[in-house]
Amino acid sequence: MLLSGIARLTQHAGQSRLLLTLTHAAGDHIKSMIANIRKGLDYVLENAPPLTKADRWGVLARYIINKIIATKPKNSQLLGFLPPSLAIEVT
């Protein structure tokens, strides 16, 4: 979906900003996904500033996984695609 957009990288005062112009029919959905990414990055910067860059990736991954799990239906079945030792039941 992002391949149909046009991006421009601008830099000012030591900050980089990526400006996207979306021409895809699902532009609103793409904007929502980008906003969620920004929220995740902000969460990491606020809650894990003393961590190394490598450790911040783990915090970001946990944040994303928690958001995905939160959107799953509460009465979903056991995840059948995982080996039994890794499967979890969402209650």
What pLDDT is recorded for position 87? Answer: 46
**Which residues constitute the domain of residue 14?**
2-71
Q: Quickly state the pLDDT bin for 91 (edges 50, 70, 90).
A: very low
44: how many CB neighbours lie within 10 A of its CB? 20
| Any domain includes 9 | yes
Res. 11: pLDDT tops 90:
yes
Q: What is the mean pLDDT of residues 56-61?
A: 85
Model confidence pLDDT, tens digit, residues 19-37 = 878 776 777 777 787 788 8
| Any domain includes 87 | no
CA torsion 57→63→64→66, rounded to 10°?
Answer: 140
| Any domain includes 90 | no
| Any domain includes 38 | yes
What pLDDT is recorded for position 82? Answer: 52
Tokens 């793409």, residue located? 30
What DSSP assignment string belongs to the chain? -GGGSEEEEEEETTEEEEEEE--STTHHHHHHHHHHHHHHHHHHHHH-TTS-HHHHHHHHHHHHHHHHHHHS-TTPPP-TTS-TTT-----
Q: Which one is predicted more confidently, 68 or 88?
A: 68
| Any domain includes 91 | no
**Total number of domains in the chain:** 1
